[in-house]
Amino acid sequence: MEQFIKQLGERDIGLIFKNEPLANHTTWKIGGPADFLIEPKNVDGLKELMTLLTTHNVPWRVIGRGSNLLVGDGGIEGVVIKLGEGLSHLDVEGETVTVGGGYSIIKLATVISKQGLSGLEFAGGIPGSVGGAVFMNAGAHGSDISKILTKALILFEDGTLKWINNEEMEFSYRTSRLQKENGICVEAVFKLEAGDRESIVNEMQKNKDYRRKSQPWNFPCAGSVFRNPLPNYAGQLIEKSGLKGFQIGGAQVSEMHGNFIVNIENAKAEDVLQLIDHIKKTVYDKFEVQMETEVEIVNRG
């Protein structure tokens, strides 16, 4: 690690923070420190960082806007790469949208809808980055990223950049091949459809309003905690189990939506983990349905 730190200081890679609390970088406002949090200034900086990480065998992980993520109270060992402004470019040519992995998916949906392009209305209330949305095949309102992605530019651990097309991404429900491989979505290309601007904006606003009325964004949270065990819905199973409002420490099952756990009073990751386990056991005992988390859980070591 000493050589890595030395060489890191000699390069102009981007912003570097040591022992950075990840509670400052997650939508749950939970998480211990990362040894280093690095926000590359551009794609070249990210490639150079990846080369250093691989050369010195330093553990790493990437985050975007910190949604859909629970970081343990002990933090994360090694380097957390944050895709920020340096990878937030946007280019629109006709119906083709090319966008950086660090771009806000909510902002993208808003900008695109105002240009009369349809296909991203479902993403108007998803609190994550483009890279994270591709990683998770994020979706809502009957659509998801797999419906619009043409290809994604992926940076692999060996420092190579490779375009991966839609079929090669192996998309399924809230899943992509990036969950099985160590790769970072640097850029995504979406194919949208021209339509009536007013109708598209109204549809996206309707989706945003629905989420605002039905989901507890007035407290720090990470979006849906559990995958829907289709044909059932996670939130309904949790609510039918009588768990709305159930609380452990500072973490509570939302009184507004059963599939949200909210940080109502300086919750620790351990509070959330215990609550997740309690929900799993309660739902299984009542319905014999195994619940699987949708949020990514990361602990040190």
Parent domain of 190: 88-214
Which pLDDT score is estimated for 261? 98
In a domain, 221, yes or no: no
Q: Indicate whether 301 pLDDT > 60.
A: no
In a domain, 228, yes or no: no
The residue from 67, 224, 241, 254 that is catalytic is 224
Q: pLDDT per residue over 25-72, tens digit each? A: 999 999 999 999 999 999 999 999 999 999 999 999 999 889 889 999
Let me know whether 122 and 208 are in one domain: yes
294 is known as an active-site residue: yes
Whether 269 and 75 have beta carbons less than 8 Å apart is answered as: no
Last residue of a domain, one of 65, 82, 99: 82
Let me know whether 93 and 69 are in one domain: no
In a domain, 49, yes or no: yes
172 is known as an active-site residue: no
Tally the domains of the chain. 3
Q: pLDDT per residue over 207-261, tens digit each? A: 888 877 878 878 999 989 999 999 999 999 999 999 999 999 999 999 999 999 9
Whether 73 and 216 have beta carbons less than 8 Å apart is answered as: no
Which pLDDT score is estimated for 181? 87
* CATH number of residue 243's parent domain: 3.90.78.10
* CATH number of residue 45's parent domain: 3.30.43.10
Let me know whether 196 and 275 are in one domain: no
Let me know whether 68 and 171 are in one domain: no
The residue from 39, 104, 129, 174 that is catalytic is 174
pLDDT band at 110 (very low <50, low <70, confident <90, very high): very high
Let me know whether 253 and 292 are in one domain: yes
> What pTM, to 2 d.p., does this model score?
0.90
Task: Please give the Cα distance from 103 to 187 (Å, whole number).
Answer: 9
Q: Indicate whether 265 pLDDT > 60.
A: yes
In a domain, 223, yes or no: no
Task: Please give the Cα distance from 239 to 195 (Å, whole number).
Answer: 39
* CATH number of residue 107's parent domain: 3.30.465.10
In a domain, 226, yes or no: no
Whether 243 and 236 have beta carbons less than 8 Å apart is answered as: no
Last residue of a domain, one of 51, 82, 113: 82
E strands, the chain, are: 14-21, 33-40, 60-63, 69-71, 76-82, 90-93, 96-100, 117-118, 139-140, 143-144, 149-156, 161-165, 183-191, 193-194, 247-248, 251-253, 261-263, 296-298
Greater confidence (167 vs 128) lies with 167
Let me know whether 94 and 145 are in one domain: yes
In a domain, 220, yes or no: no
254 is known as an active-site residue: no
Let me know whether 32 and 57 are in one domain: yes
Task: Please give the Cα distance from 130 to 19 (Å, whole number).
Answer: 26
